[in-house]
Chains A and B, each alone.
Chain A
């Protein structure tokens, strides 16, 4: 008799633990051949990066203008090259060089001319590819997407077509039409449409605002998850819960409430018949009517418009609370090693009580001795939901108020 097979249950294998604390290393890779290491910048300083869930983030470092590594490789810092930050032997973040500034430092041992190198995280590479017309030609239809699909189906097709046209060299993807980057089946089926001409980055971020989490690994693997991260707020057989506690591993705690409230949306669709108004009655009662204008002129599905607007308003009715925590470098509670972006951990809320929060961003800098310093931003369960839609509303809102049609990236 053949074996009977059960249903599948999602499981996430955690990243390996770093072997030793070796600090931050800067490695520069060729932008044309992203797997090719050009050299290691051994004498850099002020190495800093912001790793943000489902967003681009940013990185920077400084190198002395007369450093021998620049003599060996005069084009080391040219735009387009990729810088990977390696923390304790494991690549944790990468950015694309887009800016070099000469900085003169006049005091102390660092006196002299320095070059400050900075740029956006490698997720920004998706900005270099567009959604093309259907059939990857100039004479196919101009609306991409269908009413019943998942994010992986849509993004994998658009990503593959972009690579067929020669874009995104060196970038791979870890998801497909069936499973996400954790090899888990896609959770959400929805209607989604974009007009040709939209960048892949804009598309991916918009999907991230509606349904999924996105990211790009330092090795340029494009990841899309149903949800990034795991729950580390519980004791398991092998590991203690991650608890960020004042007087233990939190050096500073800052609470910010984001009160950019909109409860009535006037929505512009692709044609006059698709103009719509959506409201959140509860919020209007509490805060009074606060109107916002939303341009979705690249959207011809009234289903999608209604879904997006209602979801926004449902979760945009009150202040969203965010906590910023400066983390001391304590064993078993280290960002990246013990928890990462999207993970759920325990941290004090505004009232000082421990609550489950989700890691939204990790900022890594270093002190005068070169030791890494960590700052994490977290959101509560409610704030987590609201943040997704806050990002969406702010972006389309900015685009509208600035006179730019939504769907055109501002990057």
Chain B
């Protein structure tokens, strides 16, 4: 089995399937990653979001944000609640707390004290308390300017992006945005968002 993917840049690639029943598509350039999993029972979720996506009839205009916008999950049995956010996209069977999932950070560089926006899902609508929710860069806690729920209208978000004059990110679902500052003495690394059960 082979699947052809037409990328946003109008280049086309053909990818060979992995062993059945799992079919994986990966462009390998870091910005166009797709996975199609049919009839999957996943025991290992160490790669998290990317391994548990069932995408049927997907039309992806921009996969850079990618992991939750185009998911149609059918009969997925997730053993690890780290991937619980996927169930939110199904519109049913949502018994687990959404796991925080960063869709993108903008800008992707800065000096200590400068402001970054973390956009994603499962952060909770508010920070509540310091112990319940925080953003970390390389294990250093980032200063929180705001932590907010954002309604998922594309027009509103696009307008917001234009104000910031950032990259052409488009986010359609409801999501959360965290405005945070780069901590003093920080070094380059990964940004994580930790969050407790928002309903607890």
Contact residues of B between 128 and 168, Cβ < 8 Å to A: 132-133, 137-138, 164-167
B107 within 8 A of A: yes
User: 0/1 per residue, B114-137, Cβ < 8 Å to A?
Assistant: 111110101100000000110001
Contact yes or no, B166 A13, CB < 8 A: no
In the assembly, what is the distance between CA of A1 and CA of B198, in Å? 11
Contact yes or no, B190 A183, CB < 8 A: yes
Residues of B within 8 A of A3 (CB): 132-133, 194-196
B182 within 8 A of A: yes
In the assembly, what is the distance between CA of A61 and CA of B193, in Å? 49
Contact residues of B between 96 and 111, Cβ < 8 Å to A: 97, 99-102, 104-111
Question: Which of B97, B107, B191 is packed against the most chain A CB atoms within 10 Å?
Answer: B107
Q: How large is the interface on B (under 10, 10 to 19, 20 to 34, 35 or more residues)?
A: 35 or more
Residues of B within 8 A of A179 (CB): 189
User: 0/1 per residue, B21-51, Cβ < 8 Å to A?
Assistant: 0000000101000000000000000001100
Contact yes or no, A182 B188, CB < 8 A: yes
A4 within 8 A of B: yes
User: 0/1 per residue, A1-21, Cβ < 8 Å to B?
Assistant: 111111111111110110000
A247 within 8 A of B: no
Residues of A within 8 A of B166 (CB): 234-236
Residues of B within 8 A of A238 (CB): 110-111, 114-115
Residues of B within 8 A of A5 (CB): 99-100, 192-194
B200 within 8 A of A: yes
Identity of the chain A residue whose Cβ is nearest the Cβ of B165 in the assembled complex: A235
User: 0/1 per residue, A330-352, Cβ < 8 Å to B?
Assistant: 00000000000000000000000
A184 within 8 A of B: yes
Contact yes or no, B114 A4, CB < 8 A: no
A291 within 8 A of B: no
Partner of B30, one of A7, A187, A239: A187
Contact yes or no, B194 A4, CB < 8 A: yes
A230 within 8 A of B: yes
Q: What total of chain A residues lie within 8 Å of the partner, measured CB to CB? A: 33
Contact yes or no, A11 B122, CB < 8 A: no
B16 within 8 A of A: no
A273 within 8 A of B: no
A184/B195 contact (C-beta < 8 A), A4-B97, A6-B100, A236-B166 known: no
Question: Which of B48, B123, B186, B189 is packed against the most chain A CB atoms within 10 Å?
Answer: B189
Task: Give chain A nearest CB distance to B86 CB in angstroms.
Answer: 13
Contact yes or no, B99 A4, CB < 8 A: yes
Contact yes or no, A6 B165, CB < 8 A: no
B112 within 8 A of A: yes
Mostly, the A contact residues are: loop
Contact yes or no, A13 B112, CB < 8 A: yes
Partner of B189, one of A183, A187, A239: A183
Identity of the chain B residue whose Cβ is nearest the Cβ of A182 in the assembled complex: B188
A411 within 8 A of B: no
A6/B99 contact (C-beta < 8 A), A237-B115, A237-B164 known: yes
In the assembly, what is the distance between CA of A400 and CA of B100, in Å? 53
Identity of the chain A residue whose Cβ is nearest the Cβ of B115 in the assembled complex: A237
B174 within 8 A of A: no
Residues of A within 8 A of B28 (CB): 188
Contact yes or no, A1 B197, CB < 8 A: yes
Residues of B within 8 A of A184 (CB): 188-190
Task: Give chain A nearest CB distance to B105 CB in angstroms.
Answer: 5
Question: Which of A5, A9, A187 is packed against the most chain B CB atoms within 10 Å?
Answer: A9
A230/B108 contact (C-beta < 8 A), A9-B102, A235-B165 known: yes
Contact residues of A between 228 and 243, Cβ < 8 Å to B: 230-232, 234-239
Residues of B within 8 A of A16 (CB): 111
Partner of A236, one of B101, B110, B138, B196: B110
A14/B111 contact (C-beta < 8 A), A4-B99, A234-B167 known: yes
Contact yes or no, B191 A12, CB < 8 A: no
Residues of A within 8 A of B167 (CB): 234
Task: Give chain A nearest CB distance to B122 CB in angstroms.
Answer: 7
> Can you list the 8 inter-chain pairs with the closest CB atoms, starting with the nearest?
A8-B190, A6-B100, A183-B189, A230-B109, A182-B188, A235-B165, A3-B194, A236-B107
27 pairs across A/B with beta carbons < 8 Å? A1-B196, A1-B200, A4-B99, A4-B122, A4-B194, A5-B100, A5-B194, A6-B101, A6-B120, A6-B122, A6-B194, A9-B118, A11-B109, A11-B137, A11-B182, A11-B189, A13-B109, A13-B112, A16-B111, A17-B111, A182-B188, A184-B190, A188-B28, A235-B166, A237-B107, A237-B115, A238-B114
17 further contact pairs, Cβ within 8 A, besides A183-B138, A235-B166, A238-B114: A3-B132, A4-B97, A4-B197, A6-B100, A6-B101, A6-B122, A11-B105, A11-B109, A11-B190, A13-B112, A13-B186, A14-B109, A16-B111, A231-B108, A234-B166, A236-B166, A238-B111
Where the two chains meet, the residues of A that have a C-beta atom closer than 8 Å to any C-beta of B are 1-14, 16-17, 179, 181-185, 187-188, 230-232, 234-239
Where the two chains meet, the residues of B that have a C-beta atom closer than 8 Å to any C-beta of A are 28, 30, 48-49, 82, 97, 99-102, 104-112, 114-118, 120, 122-123, 132-133, 137-138, 164-167, 182, 186-197, 200
